[in-house]
Structure 1
Amino acid sequence: MDSGAEAKLSNIDLGYVFLGQFIDHDITLDVTSSLSSRNTPDDINNIRTPTLDLDCIYGSGVEGTPHLYYHAPPNASGKPKQIDKLHLLTNGDDLLRAESTPQGHLNQVALIGDPRNDENRIVSQLQLLMHYFHNTVVNELLTKGTYTTKTALFEKAREIVTWHYQWVVIYDFLPKLVGQTVVDDIMCNGRRFFTEDNSPFIPVEFSVAVYRFGHTMVTNPLDFNESHKGVTMFGSELGTGFQKNTAGAINWSWFFGEDAQKAGAVDEKLPSELLELPFIKNAEASLAVRNLQRGQSFSLPSGQSVHKYMESVLGVSLDSPDMSMFELPGNLAQATPLWLYILCEGSLSGGNHLGPVGGYIVAEVLIGLIESDPHSFLGSNPSWYPELKVQGSQPAGAFEMADIIKYTDFAA
């Protein structure tokens, strides 16, 4: 599972790998399962809400998590008074952080809804982007003066931000990562595997194995901004995670859009940096080993078993990878751990997106979570399409992650 001498690249913008990590943190957090013992899915408590509602950004709202929002001083006037309890916290090119002891120490806790969104500099900057996105929407609504109460304005801003984010997940992120054909099939013909709508949950096949495909797509080194080119994700240049930002603002044009650097291929190789995680102490630090152990602890079926079941449900023959080309030891070529199997499936697209097993599981779960949420755009207004005006954007409805960046005022 090492990176190999010549790491292949995909045709996917590198930013989508970290957007995938952000999405994961929005829907699931397991703090109870163990790598060293047998786990039962019904006993696992998901700390996050299993909906794409951005609770990692909004927390429990202004009343439930007031520490995530700006509070104007009592004598404030002008804009500070206007945005009181409406803006999410920002600090220039960094998230706002709690004071440390001693003063000036780099390890300061970010005041955000999910601490995992500060574990590397890029996802931390993505969290910050979403704060600024919300604040920009709030400022636009304040300018329009349509809403007479702050509560109504805040809820409208939250809806706008969340719905545009959900649109990006379905019509931008998923086509790139699972292929347009899979997305079109699900949106036209419905879901056939993840069919629970009344009590949405996160299947262990998704969280424990399949959605960990992004680990193979991390590139090393990468370009962060003009001052930090050719750097490692956990190196001293960007910080090892959970630290004050000293690297400056990310250049998002190098992660999304025409000038973006490309992500690694979906294949069975991981960058060496993930085989020795710096923030894992006194435990197995290889992400590959941890992923395999996690799948085993939940007694997940092999990739071949899931492939066969999917064919029976769909009533069609699905492509499968030639496992002999991967030189797996023992009988792993015939009964491949699910996580490793979906990485090998990437060979079917030349490493440019997931194969059928991984693609259907990822797409059906994410689309299903949005469809089953009565507050999402699919759950409450399925004819809705993006309404934000972005200069130079494509026609109505063609809204991508790059458009969030174009729309957002980073000085908001």
Structure 2
Amino acid sequence: MALDLHGLTAAQRPKLYLNGEGMFGRLFPELLPLDVPVEEALALGAERGPMDVSFEGPGIACEDNPRIPAGWAFFGQFIAHDITNDRQPLQSHEEVGRNFRSPRLDLECVYGAGVTGQPYLYDKDDYALFLIGTDDRGTPGDLPRNPQGLALIGDARNDTYFFISQLHLAFLKLHNRLLLEQRAAGAANPFEATQQLLRWHYQWIVLHEFLPLTVGQALVQDIIEHGPRWYQAASSPFIPVEFSDGAYRFGHAQLRDLYQINDALHDVRLFPDTVGLRPVPSAYQPDWARFFDFGGAVRPQLTRYIDASYGHCMIRLPETLTGQVARPEYRSLAGRDLQRALATDLPSGEAVARAYGEVPLTPEQIGLSELGWRYETPLPIYVLREAAVQHDGQQLGAVGGRIVAEVLLGLMQADPTAYLNAQPDWQPSLPTIHGSFSIADLLRAADVA
């Protein structure tokens, strides 16, 4: 059936991404894109603008979210790099967007193209093992790097700052440990057995920790029992742009400006102090108990509340990461997120809420009308304000939460190799300290905590 686009010209119609594996797609191709002047949208994410935490405007005053430890913001980015890779320029309006990642939670960002496609990731003396780099003490505390300091890993984005590069290192180390154990146990194909084990433990953490913290256990259980309402991926999984360029950007607002890395390093700025694309000094290797709940005496730092403001260092990204930019707003991660929302022709948050059958937030709840905003709300901002209004910023709300949960759960449900399908009653085999297997147990097993 043809879409009724109310007399719009072809140039005005929303570009319909092809839903299919290897492509981005749309949850709501019938919704019109939000029509907002680029300059006004970018001003929201500019330095000293409404999304800069230093701006005195509506929002949650306290930054600490008691529900979610700080490390989950890094883990969320790790997931994003595992399932999405959009190489289009920031302002690109291509009709069909290719996703250079498989739409599966399969650790492609770790394994890359495999031994044949990317042999430099692996030990040439034993191609079943990953290379591990050495730090300034000569110990295996960093990613493998080339002579210029760039990481030799399956996804270069996992080297953009120290925390995510150290998280990536944990997966490399755990693979190597599991591989040796599988060999010792006489596995017919130790590499494939190790891949499956590591992927399934990772998927377990996404399902049993990350999603309940992010969207609430009730929504996770509802989707498991009744299936997704909108994201239908069983025959051809894809990544919706409403997820990749809309709702899932919420993690950027969780990042703090300052972190305590370990006992010795306090008040370290995320940027530029921990900017990556260079070796990680041993002094900067994190005490993971300060980022995830290990159940011990050390209490983890917390993410920022989910709200429509970014830490100030997110508003002034280092040129090391952005390169030369066409306009100053593109140094801001908030500005870049808004530009991508416009470039991918996302509908407004209110339009998506109506499509979901939800009552949209009011302009007063959004908090932009008093600043002269005359439009509906860009989807990334709507999702953030929805979390603040509906859950005091402690988890995603009705629209953002359902987009995130349906996509991540849907990808696992559509993957025949995921443990949910291949072995639904599977339980993690790695040791656990407090009952249910957790990210803390994974980091212990990797010998980084």
Same fold, judged at TM 0.5 (above): yes
Please give the alpha-carbon distance, in whole angstroms, between the structure 1 residues aligned to 2:280 and 2:193. Answer: 31
SS in 1 for 2:444: helix
Q: Which of the residues 122, 125, 145 maps onto 1:97?
A: 145
1:148-159 superposed matches below 5 A: 149=188, 152-159=189-196
Q: Which of the residues 98, 103, 106 maps onto 1:50?
A: 103
Please give the alpha-carbon distance, in whole angstroms, between the structure 2 residues aligned to 1:340 and 1:7. Answer: 19
Given the alignment of the two structures, is residue 362 of structure 1 paired with residue 404 of structure 2, yes or no? yes
Give 1:221 deviation, angstroms.
0.7
Verify the 8 A CA contact 1:3 1:269 in the aligned structure 2.
yes
1:42-191 superposed matches below 5 A: 43-72=96-125, 84-91=126-133, 92-100=140-148, 108-143=149-184, 145-147=185-187, 149=188, 152-191=189-228
Given the alignment of the two structures, is residue 385 of structure 1 paired with residue 427 of structure 2, yes or no? yes
- Name 1:306's counterpart in structure 2: 352
Give 1:321 deviation, angstroms.
4.2
Give 1:28 deviation, angstroms.
0.6
Amino acid corresponding to residue 173 of structure 1 in structure 2: F
Given the alignment of the two structures, is residue 3 of structure 1 paired with residue 53 of structure 2, yes or no? yes
SS in 1 for 2:410: helix
1:281-339 deviation digits (Å, cap 9, x = unpaired):
3322111111112111222111111111112xxxxxx4654541443047757611111
Given the alignment of the two structures, is residue 266 of structure 1 paired with residue 319 of structure 2, yes or no? no
Given the alignment of the two structures, is residue 203 of structure 1 paired with residue 259 of structure 2, yes or no? no
1:261-300 superposed matches below 5 A: 261-278=301-318, 279-283=321-325, 284-300=330-346
Given the alignment of the two structures, is residue 19 of structure 1 paired with residue 75 of structure 2, yes or no? yes
1:185-239 deviation digits (Å, cap 9, x = unpaired):
1011111111122221110100111100011111111111223211011233x3x
- Name 2:24's counterpart in structure 1: none
1:304-383 superposed matches below 5 A: 304-311=350-357, 318=358, 321-329=361-369, 332=373, 335-347=376-388, 348-383=390-425
Identity of aligned residues (%): 37
| Structure 1 residues not aligned, in runs of 5+ | 73-83, 101-107, 312-317
Please give the alpha-carbon distance, in whole angstroms, between the structure 2 residues aligned to 1:216 and 1:226. Answer: 26
CA distance 1:235–1:227, shift in 2 (3 Å): farther
Verify the 8 A CA contact 1:33 1:39 in the aligned structure 2.
no
SS in 2 for 1:197: coil
Amino acid corresponding to residue 70 of structure 1 in structure 2: D
Amino acid corresponding to residue 142 of structure 1 in structure 2: R
Amino acid corresponding to residue 95 of structure 1 in structure 2: L
| Structure 2 residues not aligned, in runs of 5+ | 1-50, 134-139
- Name 1:229's counterpart in structure 2: 266
CA distance 1:245–1:34, shift in 2 (3 Å): closer
Verify the 8 A CA contact 2:353 2:359 in the aligned structure 1.
no
SS in 2 for 1:85: strand
Amino acid corresponding to residue 310 of structure 1 in structure 2: Y
Verify the 8 A CA contact 1:26 1:56 in the aligned structure 2.
yes
Aligned residues: 374
Amino acid corresponding to residue 272 of structure 2 in structure 1: G
SS in 2 for 1:263: strand
Q: Give the alignment's TM-score, normalised by structure 2.
A: 0.79
Give 1:117 deviation, angstroms.
0.2
- Name 1:245's counterpart in structure 2: 280
Please give the alpha-carbon distance, in whole angstroms, between the structure 2 residues aligned to 1:328 and 1:39. Answer: 30
Please give the alpha-carbon distance, in whole angstroms, between the structure 2 residues aligned to 1:228 and 1:319. Answer: 46
Please give the alpha-carbon distance, in whole angstroms, between the structure 1 residues aligned to 2:430 and 2:172. Answer: 16
Please give the alpha-carbon distance, in whole angstroms, between the structure 2 residues aligned to 1:232 and 1:357. Answer: 32
Verify the 8 A CA contact 2:90 2:336 in the aligned structure 1.
no
Structure 1 runs of 4+ with >3 Å offset: 4-7, 318-323, 329-334
Please give the alpha-carbon distance, in whole angstroms, between the structure 2 residues aligned to 1:120 and 1:296. Answer: 27
Verify the 8 A CA contact 2:261 2:284 in the aligned structure 1.
no
Give 1:387 deviation, angstroms.
2.0
Give 1:178 deviation, angstroms.
0.9
Give 1:255 deviation, angstroms.
0.7
Give 1:64 deviation, angstroms.
2.6
